[in-house]
Amino acid sequence: MALHFEGVDKWFPSVEGASVQVLKRVNLAAEAGQFWVFRGPNGCGKTTLMNLAAGLDEPSNGIVRLAEERVDQTVVGYLFQDYAGSLLPWLTLGENATLPLKLKGISRAMRRESLVAISEETGLTGLPFDRYPFQCSGGQQQKTCFLRSLLASERFLILDEPFASLDRESCEKVTDMLQRIRLAGSHLVLLVIHDLDDAIFLADRLVCLDGSPATIRDIVPVDLPWPRKAEVRVRSEFLDVRRRVLDSSGELHR
Amino acid sequence: MNRYLHRVPLGVPIMIGVWFLATRGSWSSPLVLPRPELVFGSLLSQLSTQSLWQDTLMTTFRALSGLALSAFLGIPIGLVLGQLAGLYRHVAFVLDFVRSIPSATLFPLFILAFGIGELAKVAVVFYGCFFIVVMAAVYGGRSNSDRNKRIATLRSLRARRSQIFVLVVFPDAMANILGGLRIAASIALVLVVVTEMFLGANDGLGKRIYDFYLAYRIPELYAALLILGVLGYVANRGIEQLEGVYKLRLAGGSR
């Protein structure tokens, strides 16, 4: 599962009837098994970029391609930034998490089995799977969405701010699970992470977006070995990446 | 004490109490408001006759067939119109024009078309309910930002259009549709009673009420009205049960 963006522009119609350009000349070439982390200021077009990669929206110019497949026909495990809005309120957390399996016509008993298996594998146990989303906390909802994206695809994940509502412990569990996925080399994973340390920690490539319309300012390779332990955060390679990112975004010169 | 207050519907004894007191003085005419004990006495004696059950059954049957038919046709048509804004623009004028004609004014037409049998009565009910259900379903079928987020989830999972409809659009539209059905159920009862009064019926609560009116048997008339009220209450409760099925009350209507 390799993902290519070639000269991608994206305009949206504005209220006044004119159009607003959100993305400008975006080029990417992500290989299967890699983790690509995207970072940039609010409203710069990260979520738009994720929606293009998920095939939910089409580029105004340029090409978005997933290996040989059509990008809008490949199932993607997408953890939406607005995770709460992505849950169906008339389904329980368990039914929401296993929705991808239901769509494939997998039996209720098998879905239940997969749900138990994936929550044990991730360590995200104790979620109230028989309750409805409005009865649950934001963190519980976001963890449900994470499980849903894992059950959706074994090749392609898009996680838009996956840590936003999670407590420390859950963040560690999700990070550990992602590291296992990285080691298996099975998934191409796109992530949006604001915290710079967390972003570097989970990145093979760190994409810095900025400007309006947004362009790619820098794609920083992070060549630290996997699995990564907490101590890499003080290694000199890690700090070099940190300096390069802060330098290119101008955050170092304020 | 507080918990009891919530459980017992205080409205019923208060209503009967006020009614009881209002009929004590000489200032209220028994022709307009008979004493409750007479009404309940008549209710009891009517309940023991077979004809009351027959009338209730026929009224229920006519109202339900008209309502069911309008739901059966109105919900899909409304949902389609709600989803296709372009199509809706074309038919909006016709819809608004036709539904502005009161169904009572169409009695002569319906009699000419369907005779004075069951069909004409059901047709009147259908006409009155159909457009209410259609309009409710149009609003239910329209897209909104909450629904689009849910649809995006299904699209990322490459769900088929039919799956998106069954899993998102239909349950999402249910809140609106059930609201429309509830209003339509009340209208159905109103219309069926009116047709039974004036459209040449041999049975039904409307016929019963009209006969009592002609004979100035006011307590009996009130007893029949009570039955109608109970029918309306049962209909509303039934539709509320459907809301429960779709978790609409729990979810606060929509998210």
Tell me which residues of chain A have a C-beta less than 8 Å from any C-beta of chain B: 51, 54-56, 72-76, 78, 80, 82, 84-90, 99-100, 103, 132-134, 152
Tell me whether B162 touches chain A (CB under 8 Å).
no
Q: Verify whether the Cβ–Cβ distance A88 to B167 is below 8 Å.
A: yes
Q: Verify whether the Cβ–Cβ distance B157 to A100 is below 8 Å.
A: yes
Which CATH number does the domain housing residue B86 bear?
1.10.3720.10
Which positions in chain B touch A99 (Cβ < 8 Å)? 153-154, 157, 167
* Residue B207: inside a domain: yes
| pLDDT in the model for residue B62 | 94
In which band, very low, low, confident or very high, does the pLDDT at B247 lie, cut at 50, 70 and 90? Answer: low
Nearest beta carbon to residue A78 from set B156, B167, B254: B156
Q: What is the pLDDT of residues B219-233, one digit of tens each?
A: 999 999 999 999 988
* Residue B213: inside a domain: yes
Q: Point out the least confidently predicted range of A131-140, B55-64, B242-251.
A: B242-251
| pLDDT in the model for residue B5 | 59
* Residue B28: inside a domain: no
Q: In chain B, whose CA is at the least distance from the CA of A136? A: B251
Higher pLDDT, B174 or B8: B174
| pLDDT in the model for residue B6 | 62
Q: What is the pLDDT of residues B2-32, one digit of tens each?
A: 556 566 678 888 988 998 888 887 777 888 8
Domain range spanning residue B213?
A: 64-250
In which band, very low, low, confident or very high, does the pLDDT at B252 lie, cut at 50, 70 and 90? Answer: very low
| pLDDT in the model for residue B27 | 74
Q: Verify whether the Cβ–Cβ distance B149 to A134 is below 8 Å.
A: no
* Residue B135: inside a domain: yes
Which pLDDT tens digits describe chain A residue by residue (254 residues)? 789 999 999 998 887 778 888 999 999 999 989 999 999 888 888 999 999 999 999 999 999 988 877 778 889 999 999 999 999 998 999 999 999 999 999 999 999 999 999 999 999 988 999 999 989 999 999 999 999 999 999 999 999 999 999 999 999 999 999 999 999 988 999 999 999 999 999 999 999 998 888 899 889 999 999 899 989 999 999 999 999 998 877 777 77
* Residue B204: inside a domain: yes
Element (H, E) at A115: helix A108-122
Tell me whether B163 touches chain A (CB under 8 Å).
yes
Q: Annotate A179-225 with three-state secondary structure.
A: HHHHHHCCCEEEEECCCHHHHHHCCCEEEEEECCCEEEEEEEECCCC
In which band, very low, low, confident or very high, does the pLDDT at B253 lie, cut at 50, 70 and 90? Answer: very low
| pLDDT in the model for residue B108 | 85
Q: Point out the least confidently predicted range of A13-22, B92-101, B152-161.
A: A13-22
Mutate to test the interface with A, among B155, B156, B169, B174 (most CBs of A within 10 A): B156
- What is the pLDDT of chain B when averaged over all its residues? 87
B250 to chain A, minimum CA–CA distance in Å?
Answer: 8
Tell me whether B242 touches chain A (CB under 8 Å).
no
| pLDDT in the model for residue B254 | 42
| pLDDT in the model for residue A94 | 95
Q: Verify whether the Cβ–Cβ distance A90 to B246 is below 8 Å.
A: yes
* Residue B212: inside a domain: yes
Q: Verify whether the Cβ–Cβ distance B154 to A78 is below 8 Å.
A: no
Tell me whether B245 touches chain A (CB under 8 Å).
no
Which positions in chain B touch A86 (Cβ < 8 Å)? 149-150, 152-153
| pLDDT in the model for residue B250 | 47
Total domains in the fold of chain B: 1
* Residue B35: inside a domain: no
Tell me whether B240 touches chain A (CB under 8 Å).
no
| pLDDT in the model for residue A186 | 87
pLDDT, average across residues B175-198? 91
